[in-house]
Amino acid sequence: MRERHRNSRAPTVLSRLSLALRLAVALAVSQILDKHGVECNASTATVTGTSFQVVNGAGTYIIYSLSGALRLTANGAGNIVAGAQFNGVLRVVKLNVPSHTTILDQYVANYPTGVNTDYDFNGDVGTLRFTWTVTGNAANLLMLTWPHHR
């Protein structure tokens, strides 16, 4: 027996934010770098740009602002705070391999704004499909996957 389901709900748009940005980092920020890798290692560091590397005990992260320059201040308490209200698109990625920075920079402008899911069963085999609504080129969308997603 074959069953089929389609989720046709309107996608939830998460790409536009209108709030004072406050990113809490679980462990104390030990470094914040600008896009050129210049470190600001004072107890309170302020950097302005569109791409930032943040380093803490859990790893290295890149914060991208796709909506223009942003001023971020990091302190030893593990907080990163924007200098003003931010209206726009942010992307955050964990950088496990430093050489991946180039490919992440290349594809950062392609991001999802919603998803429709579709699934069916044929006997004991199930198929789940995701159709992403994308800003940019859907063919160049980079998405996080965990081993159980593969």
pLDDT in tens, the chain (150 residues): 444 545 444 333 333 332 223 333 333 444 555 555 555 554 677 888 898 888 777 788 888 999 999 888 877 666 788 888 888 899 988 898 999 999 999 999 999 999 899 999 999 999 988 888 999 998 999 887 677 766
Q: Using CA atoms, how far apart are residues 71 and 84, in angstroms rounded to an integer?
A: 8
Q: Using CA atoms, how far apart are residues 126 and 68, in angstroms rounded to an integer?
A: 43
Please tell me the predicted confidence (pLDDT) of residue 18. 28
The whole-angstrom distance between residue 39's C-alpha and the CA centroid of its chain comes to: 22
- CB of 56 within 8 A of CB of 25? yes
Please tell me the predicted confidence (pLDDT) of residue 47. 83
Please tell me the predicted confidence (pLDDT) of residue 31. 54
Please tell me the predicted confidence (pLDDT) of residue 81. 82
Sign of torsion, CA 62 59 143 133? negative
Please tell me the predicted confidence (pLDDT) of residue 80. 81
